[in-house]
Amino acid sequence: MARAKIALIGAGQIGGTLAHLAALKELGDVVLFDIAEGIPQGKALDIAESAPVDGFDADMSGANDYSAIAGADVCIVTAGVARKPGMSRDDLLGINLKVMKSVGEGIRDNAPDAFVICITNPLDAMVWALQQFSGLPTEKVVGMAGVLDSARFRHFLADEFDVSVKDVTAFVLGGHGDTMVPLTRYSTVAGIPLPDLVDMGWTTQDKLDAIVQRTRDGGAEIVGLLKTGSAFYAPAASAIQMAEAYLKDQKRVLPAAVYVDGAYGLDGMYVGVPTVIGAGGTEKVVNISLNEDEQAMLDKSIDAVKGLVAACKEIDGTLA
Ligand code: APR
């Protein structure tokens, strides 16, 4: 059977890391696409030259023409600009919306059967716009945010409890912004919910609150340290986990920005919720029950996403 084809739209910091991880995991052949000439070709060749050392079989190529992504099984989109210190994800909206238009049309015309994972920020609005511009089915267009946000949460929790990250699970709902909702009640160490761990005296509520806030600010913390761009290792690892779930029909339950119609009182919008990812794309939205406080936080986050979508519609009148 032919190998899967993975198209990476955007060959910057995240795009290059995605290519390397996809190759190391032998998920398929990789095409890096970018408007910058030489960058996708150079990164593809550099990674290909590491194959004899690491021992993976995957074709690597770079391109500046959308015809190169023809027939891709998975497209991961990072095209656009990244944050600099002092910028919020929302500051990127105008520039990256235009990028989503050209990327959406490129995917529509060349890889209409692909599972599309969007990483470009502001995430929830960009994945919505990408689905609109590409016209692909909503279950085949998804945004990567929840896996990253919950990975950050898990890392901070594992550090606090001094246990393996493998034994920490976490859920983060809502938009990929300051209003995201890390759900402590549904986050556990070895199955023990975080509020119980506070009761057991393993940590304090103050420490837990600080970790929740650090999770919300996780992206800005990295931008502040790097100064020249935003995070790329953890975002790339997160999107690769989603791509692998699709390609291998793993039916992983992962938080992601998916089109929610009916659950959580929503009538058709992209927002971060737990979803099952398998060969059908986002096969199911997991509609967990929320208490009053959690619902209020989610509602606030949903309003923030709605504001961004409205701003997109104002900029581009073709968006419905
Ligand atoms: N089509 C294709 N590629 C484009 C386009 C376009 N219209 N516009 C820009 N690019 C490319 C740039 O040439 C660059 O190589 O997108 C790439 C972006 O790479 P980086 O600037 O290194 O950004 P990166 O850190 O990879 O982040 C990409 O993901 O997390 C988000 O906020 C982040 O929106 C940003 C995106």
Task: Provide the CATH number for the domain around residue 96.
Answer: 3.40.50.720
* Upper half-sphere CA count for residue 21 (Cβ side, 13 Å): 21
- Choose one of 81, 113, 144: the last residue of a domain: 144
215 and 125 in one domain? no
pLDDT of residue 163: 98
Distance CA 130, CA 9 (A): 12
Total H helices, total E strands in the chain: 11, 12
Amino acid 226: pLDDT: 95
**CA 5 to ligand 1 center in whole angstroms:** 21
User: Is 176 annotated as catalytic?
Assistant: yes
What is the reported pLDDT for 185?
95
CA of residue 214 to ligand 1 center, whole Å: 25
**pLDDT score of 20:** 98
| Complex ipTM > 0.95 | yes
- Cα distances from 239 to residues 107, 201, 254, 255, in angstroms, run 18, 35, 11, 11
232 lines ligand 1 (CB under 6 A): yes
**In the structure encoding, which two tokens stand for residue 185, read together?**
């009640």
Closest CA to 200 of 190, 213, 215: 190
158 & 130 share domain: no
What's at 278, amino acid-wise?
Answer: G
Domain that holds residue 44: 5-144
Residues 199, 128 within the same domain:
no
CA of 16 to the centre of ligand 1 (A): 11
Q: Looking at the domain assignment, is residue 119 inside a domain? A: yes
5 Cβ neighbours under 8 A, 6+ residues apart: 28, 29, 31, 71, 72, 73, 74
Best of 8, 14, 88 for a ligand 1 pocket test (most atoms within 8 Å of beta carbon): 14
Does 88 map to a domain? yes
253 plus 280 within the same structural domain: yes
The answer to whether position 286 is within a domain reads yes
Give the residue, out of 8, 33, 35, with the most ligand 1 atoms within 8 A of its beta carbon, to mutate for a pocket test. Answer: 35
Q: What's the domain count of the chain?
A: 2
Are both 175 and 96 inside the same structural domain?
A: no
Shortest-distance atom of ligand 1 to CA 16: 26
Nearest CA, atom 27, ligand 1: 82
Which of the listed residues 123, 144, 165 is the one where a domain comes to its end?
144
Contact 121 CB / ligand 1 (< 6 Å) = yes
One domain for residues 162 and 242: yes
Say if residue 219 carries a ligand binding annotation: no
Query: 159 and 271 share a domain?
Result: yes
pLDDT for 213 equals 95
Q: What is the mean pLDDT of the chain?
A: 96
Select from 93, 117, 144 the last residue of a domain.
144
Q: Is residue 318 part of a domain?
A: no
- Tell me the per-residue pLDDT of 185-223, one tens digit each, with 9 for 90 and over: 999 999 999 999 999 999 999 999 999 999 999 999 999
pLDDT value, residue 89:
83
Instruction: Confirm or reject: Cβ of 36 under 6 Å from ligand 1.
Output: yes
> Closest ligand 1 atom, CA of 98?
7
Residues 55 and 152 placed together within one structural domain of the fold: no
CATH code at 269? 3.90.110.10
CB of 10 closer than 6 A to ligand 1? Answer: yes
Q: Are 183 and 85 found together in one domain? A: no
C-alpha radius of gyration, the chain, whole number: 19
pLDDT for 177 equals 85
Residue 317 lies in a domain: no
pLDDT given for residue 121 in this prediction: 94
Cα of 54 vs centre of ligand 1, distance in Å, is 27
Query: Which residue in the list 5, 20, 43, 176 is annotated as catalytic?
Result: 176
Instruction: Kindly state if the Cβ of 35 falls inside 6 Å of ligand 1.
Output: yes
Q: How far is CA 191 from CA 169, 173, 232, in A?
A: 8, 19, 30
Q: Identify the pLDDT of residue 276.
A: 98
Q: Which atom of ligand 1 is nearest the CA belonging to 120?
A: 34
pLDDT for 91 equals 86
Q: What is the pLDDT along the chain (320 residues), one digit of tens a residue?
A: 899 999 999 999 999 999 999 999 999 999 999 999 999 999 999 999 999 999 999 999 999 999 999 999 999 999 999 888 888 888 889 999 999 999 999 999 999 999 999 999 999 999 999 999 999 999 999 999 999 999 999 999 999 999 999 999 998 999 988 889 999 999 999 999 999 999 999 999 999 999 999 999 999 999 999 999 999 999 999 999 999 999 999 999 999 999 999 999 899 999 999 999 999 999 999 999 999 999 999 999 999 999 999 999 999 999 98
